């Protein structure tokens, strides 16, 4: 977050991503063959098309070495499938049965109604790269990190909440003296957004990691936490009708915003000294502003 205050530091996500991309290419090199990711585009949504282009670009950037070629790819191979939305369900079933396909991504919205939730459940869980299968979502909320008893298969987490976790880990918000799964103990976080794709899973993940989280949306404030001394196995949610955004900011070590549109203003005067601020919205956050902007 930019400021003339010299104690402030702006950190770009690209610097954080560099280390992670190295990890990705190292693990790709250990594979017997390059994984194939198929992206299904079945709408005219410009944001979805952009996201499909970004997926393709990221796959190319993850080629080990610089001599990537379509004929000799080594890394993640990406195939874009532009399909009619009425055909999508059958194409997904085919992709599930096709042993050459390792990962499936579907660009939403398709029908922009509950049929999209139905479609989310079609990709096989072993190919669902976005973690949209109900089993993954259930495990996220229930703080179960593995698919199997012997803990060999980690659950897939939604990418934007996971990216924010990685950012906070890089910045030292995770206390690595504590055991994994409890490393946010003692931290207070405000998340301004409670969408089903980002804000709500993020609040749950941070609370499951031990944080006290204030989750803010247009309807009000909820507290996500594992209770006093993080004694509970998974987070619980309590309505916090008595609090406003300023109350949350004053006690938060971390503030995460993701409000769509350009109008949202973060009342920076209420920020705690040394607070870490992350914005995942496509639009910039206005700085300053009144404390009751969320309502």
Ligand X SMILES: Nc1nc(=O)c2c([nH]1)NC[C@@H]1CN(c3ccc(C(=O)N[C@@H](CCC(=O)O)C(=O)O)cc3)C=[N+]21
Positions marked catalytic: 159
**CB closer to ligand X out of 161 and 267:** 161
Task: State the Cα–Cα distance between residues 52 and 78, nearest whole angstrom.
Answer: 10
Pairing of strands 254-257, 276-279: parallel
Task: State the Cα–Cα distance between residues 141 and 201, nearest whole angstrom.
Answer: 7
Report the nearest approach of ligand NAI to the CB of residue 283 (Å): 6
- Side-by-side strand order, sheet with 77-82: 77-82, 36-41, 103-106
Site for ligand X, rule CB under 6 A: 47-48, 51, 54, 105-108, 130, 282
Cα 118–Cα 121–Cα 124 angle in degrees, nearest 5: 150
Q: Are 92 and 106 in contact (CB under 8 A)?
A: yes
Residues whose CB falls within 8 Å of the CB of residue 209, separated by 6 or more in sequence, listed in order: 165, 174, 181, 182, 183, 184
Residue 174 binds which entry of ligand NAI, ligand X, none, CB below 5-8 Å type-dependent: none
Q: Which of 56, 143, 281, 286 binds ligand NAI (CB under 6 A)?
A: 281
Residue 51 binds which entry of ligand NAI, ligand X, none, CB below 5-8 Å type-dependent: ligand X
Report the nearest approach of ligand X to the CB of residue 34 (Å): 21
Task: State the Cα–Cα distance between residues 274 and 118, nearest whole angstrom.
Answer: 44
Report the nearest approach of ligand NAI to the CB of residue 194 (Å): 4
**CB closer to ligand NAI out of 39 and 210:** 39
Task: State the Cα–Cα distance between residues 106 and 74, nearest whole angstrom.
Answer: 23
Residue 54 binds which entry of ligand NAI, ligand X, none, CB below 5-8 Å type-dependent: ligand X
Q: Which residues, 194 to 233, sit near ligand NAI by CB under 6 A?
A: 194-195, 197-199, 216-218
Q: Which of 25, 115, 160, 286 binds ligand NAI (CB under 6 A)?
A: 160
State the residues that interact with ligand NAI by CB under 6 A.
Answer: 160, 192-195, 197-199, 216-218, 258-260, 264, 280-283, 293-294
């Amino acid at each position: 977050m930019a400021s003339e205050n010299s104690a402030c530091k702006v950190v770009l996500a690209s610097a954080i991503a560099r280390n992670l991309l190295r990890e990705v290419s190292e693990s790709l090199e250990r594979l017997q063959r390059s994984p194939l990711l198929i992206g299904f585009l079945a709408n005219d949504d410009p944001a979805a098309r952009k996201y499909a282009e970004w997926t393709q670009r990221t796959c190319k950037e993850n080629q080990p070495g610089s001599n990537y070629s379509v004929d000799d790819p080594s890394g993640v191979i990406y195939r874009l499938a532009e399909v009619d939305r009425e055909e999508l369900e059958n194409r997904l079933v085919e992709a599930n049965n096709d042993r050459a396909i390792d990962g499936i991504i579907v660009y939403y919205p398709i029908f922009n109604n509950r049929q999209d939730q139905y479609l989310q459940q079609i990709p096989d869980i072993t190919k669902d790269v976005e973690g949209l299968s109900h089993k993954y979502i259930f495990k996220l909320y229930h703080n179960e990190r593995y698919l199997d008893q012997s803990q060999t298969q980690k659950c897939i987490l939604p990418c934007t909440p996971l990216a924010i976790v990685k950012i906070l880990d890089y910045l030292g918000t995770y206390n690595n003296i504590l055991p994994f799964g409890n490393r946010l103990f003692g931290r207070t976080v405000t998340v301004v957004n409670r969408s089903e794709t980002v804000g709500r899973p993020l609040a749950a993940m941070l609370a499951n990691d031990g944080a006290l989280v204030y989750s803010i949306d247009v309807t009000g404030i909820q507290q996500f936490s594992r209770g006093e001394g993080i004694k509970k196995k998974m987070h619980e949610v309590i309505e916090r009708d008595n609090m406003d955004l300023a109350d949350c900011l004053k006690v938060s070590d971390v503030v995460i915003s993701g409000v769509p549109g350009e109008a949202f203003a973060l009342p920076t005067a209420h920020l705690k000294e040394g607070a870490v601020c992350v914005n995942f919205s496509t639009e910039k956050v206005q700085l300053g502003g009144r404390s009751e902007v969320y309502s």
